[in-house]
A and B are shown apart, each in its own frame.
Chain A
Amino acid sequence: MTDGPDFPGAPDPANELASDQSSLDPRDFRNALGTYATGVTIITAADQAGLPYGLTCNSFTSVSLNPPLVLWSLVVYSRNMSVFQNASHFAVNVLGASQQELAVKFAMPSSRKFEGVAWAPGLGGAPLLSGGVANFQCRTVDRYYGGDHVIFLGAVEAYSYNRDESLLFARGKYGRFVGE
């Protein structure tokens, strides 16, 4: 669901988890993981020149309430990896049910993702997108290799949210919540 790879970089050879010895089929494994529904976020950061970067992500997870910690992961060969590796902060923008087009836009490789998108710089310059249901402004406190992904751990320094309906993603499709 995140940006497609520009180049197939090899995972960290020092990481014992980064082997491909598994007999599981990655595509089928991904389909199985897709049965687990998630919300949809756009993770953003600014590069050293202050330029905005962002990508659609559904690997966001809460970690701890006190201290307030969250994580997300990015495939190691993402074209955006260096930006997030070097950024002091990132922002998690949780999308609303009306923002499916934005999710699709930020899931595709493009240098024009922010054209026509309303946003304001948050902590560390990380863009805060308008119209979502929540945002979490995070200081990057650690990074871990996890197989073919890098896991970013963030300390939440500020956040906001509202009661609007959230956008959902499951089995490769976007959707809306239907309560009991």
Chain B
Amino acid sequence: MTGGPDFPGAPDPANELASDQSSLDPRDFRNALGTYATGVTIITAGLPLACRQKT
């Protein structure tokens, strides 16, 4: 649902959770997660005024 990545960043090697040792199929897992409904948001952000003035 989000925009595609600009670049495929590697997982944080310091994070033991960031392994792909799971035998689960990510696509099928995603379909399973899709059974849980959610609302829809648009997350926004902005730079502090001081940063905007520099650009």
Contact = CB atoms under 8 A, between A and B. Distances in A.
A67 B39 contact: no
B35 A161 contact: yes
Given A67-B17, A141-B17, A134 B29 contact: no
A94 B36 CA distance: 7
Given A134-B32, A159-B24, A159-B29, A69 B17 contact: yes
Given A65-B26, A68-B24, A156-B24, A39 B32 contact: no
Given A67-B18, A166-B37, A159 B32 contact: yes
A177 B29 contact: no
A65 B39 contact: no
B37 to A, nearest CB: 4
B41 interface: yes
Which are the 3 A-B pairs with shortest beta-carbon distances?
A39-B36, A36-B39, A161-B32
Contacts of A70: 33
A142 B21 CA distance: 18
Contacts of B54: none
B22 A68 contact: yes
Interface in A59-75: 60, 62, 64-70
B30 A37 contact: no
A168 interface: yes
B38 interface: yes
Interface in B5-46: 17-22, 24, 26, 29-33, 35-39, 41
13 contacts: A35-B39, A36-B39, A64-B17, A65-B26, A65-B29, A67-B18, A69-B17, A94-B36, A133-B35, A136-B32, A161-B35, A166-B35, A177-B37
A62 B24 CA distance: 15
A64 B33 CA distance: 11
Nearest to A170: B39
B32 A36 contact: no
A94 B39 contact: no
A94 B32 CA distance: 10
Interface in A30-80: 35-39, 41, 60, 62, 64-70
A155 interface: yes
A161 B28 CA distance: 10
